[in-house]
Structure 1
């Protein structure tokens, strides 16, 4: 038999030792609870951040090419407006593109102008979530027609009435096919085709203008790039790495040699004004000396570009040379049409040099 004292010592040696963690928890119970809560919150926050990032990465295609533009309403062909008609043509990869073509109307919209074939034609690209049956777009088309423009509006590949699957490349393929189609129409002057893009439509417009020789490029509330837009919406994410649909307008506009009109509303909360200024700067840095940027007081991202006889529409008329322009000194002047880039004697026209729109005057930043 072992002495009782020895047995007690042996039993004491078999007792588990207290870990530093246990010791900390016993000595500072409140701090330990705070630490556990902090770790749980950090883990939940990290999981939420990663989950939101995955959602953004996987859903961005639907954010740009919204399901509504592929729905039943968008697929239904409604009656064309007065004098207008639906047309179809093929893209380079074989998709069928449906577009709406409308000749210029008088200011009341009662009749097609007899000289429509000699008037400027707008090749217009619309924004996110729109389609040919979209009420705002239909109204916008009629406003342009009553302003004296022929208008062609194609549905993007994979959206609305056009076949295929929507994609960034599909935007560019749609634009090129539409331009080639317009040049073949006998009732369109191929030297007076102006490429116009609103919001998302600025991407195919800028891309096309960098590849062909239009009479001019007009951007309405157009962004610098989609990663820049995403960074504004989701500043917590590295959007320049996560954004798969790029639309790098600020890079491509450097390659445009045609006259450029950049229109933007001062209070645009969707695409901030600094993006228009960045596009203007990039165009000049690319060597284009025929650039006009007009900032329209107040207004917003959409409706300012669809107001009959509004400042935006009058600026477009002046840029295309089909409406009187009131110079800064108040003397009436009728500008000549802006010439296509690279044409004989191609110089900034009166419309490009100085446009006064109501109380908003914008002169080119030509480096004389």
Structure 2
């Protein structure tokens, strides 16, 4: 009997360790899921977007998609940091909604995504975001005219870069407290704090955020619990953020908030902010280095 118990325990421990080793080894494949190179913007709902090349500090030439705001628009550019799966083309319908509301759009192209060179990582995404912001700066759009939009894992780049470089506002769609917390929720038997290589700690970032914050989250989000969105909002307010608001959609999940009026709520939020200073946008299509 004792030998059976010992044998069963040995199998359980070996299985536990083996699965943990697989999760640790292949976590990047679980966390980052790029799609194939996208079609040109002309074949998407937002054909006015233009492919532009930005060069990162570590020497990668990355493609993003960009369209400035119209002359009679709101004078702001939404810097869109997308989620962990798919391509820029998968966000073209959201770009369409933003463009139709008088906003410019920069769909940030990450390393390893959209046919771009490099391997995805938390540090790499932040370098990619810095290069995109440098491009916009060269186009005449400073922090007061840039709205950081973080979709899911993109929240982990949008937030810290807003703290670092400034922003007119930050919008989080399905944002999490940290990737470690998400992983702990999905794999509760494992010590996520020790295993996750890309923590994307939004708690630390939101505590230092001075820009207005809008949290958009679905009550039925089955990937990032709505409690995480509420927690980020709570932390921002406790840290003294002068303007932190949340919209929690009763029927929304992780990927369908646009269908529940998210863009209307975003524009309503931006319209209550002080108007941005005038800019002198450059014709798109350049290369930022």
Q: TM-score, normalised by structure 2?
A: 0.88
Question: Which of 122, 125, 128 is residue 174 of structure 1 equivalent to?
Answer: 128
Given that residues 41 and 48 in structure 2 are in contact (C-alpha distance below 8 angstroms), is that contact kept between their aligned partners in structure 1?
no
Task: Name the residue aligned to 1:349.
Answer: none
Matches within 5 A, 1:1-368: 34-66=1-33, 68-69=34-35, 74-80=36-42, 81-103=46-68, 113-116=70-73, 118-134=74-90, 137-186=91-140, 188=141, 191-304=144-257, 306-307=258-259, 310-321=260-271, 335-337=272-274
Matches of 1:204 and 1:164, distance apart in 2: 17
CA deviations over 1:198-243 (Å, ceiling 9, x no partner): 1001000011111012111111110000110010010001111111
Matches of 2:22 and 2:112, distance apart in 1: 23
Q: Which runs of 5+ in 2 are unaligned?
A: 278-289
Matches of 1:154 and 1:317, distance apart in 2: 20
Given that residues 99 and 154 in structure 1 are in contact (C-alpha distance below 8 angstroms), is that contact kept between their aligned partners in structure 2?
yes
Aligned-pair distance for 1:268?
A: 1.0
Given that residues 215 and 338 in structure 1 are in contact (C-alpha distance below 8 angstroms), is that contact kept between their aligned partners in structure 2?
no
Aligned-pair distance for 1:62?
A: 1.1
SS of 1:75's equivalent in the other structure is coil
Q: Which runs of 5+ in 1 are unaligned?
A: 1-33, 105-112, 322-334, 341-368
Aligned-pair distance for 1:196?
A: 0.4
Larger Rg: 1
Q: How many pairs are equivalent? A: 274
CA deviations over 1:293-316 (Å, ceiling 9, x no partner): 221111100111x33xx4311110
Aligned-pair distance for 1:79?
A: 4.1
Matches of 1:277 and 1:216, distance apart in 2: 18
Structure 1 residues 336 and 197, CA gap change in structure 2 (3 angstroms): closer
Aligned-pair distance for 1:338?
A: 6.5
CA deviations over 1:342-368 (Å, ceiling 9, x no partner): xxxxxxxxxxxxxxxxxxxxxxxxxxx
Matches of 2:52 and 2:155, distance apart in 1: 22
Over the residues paired in the alignment, what is the CA RMSD in angstroms? 2.0
Aligned-pair distance for 1:189?
A: 6.9
Aligned-pair distance for 1:120?
A: 2.0
Q: TM-score, normalised by structure 1?
A: 0.70
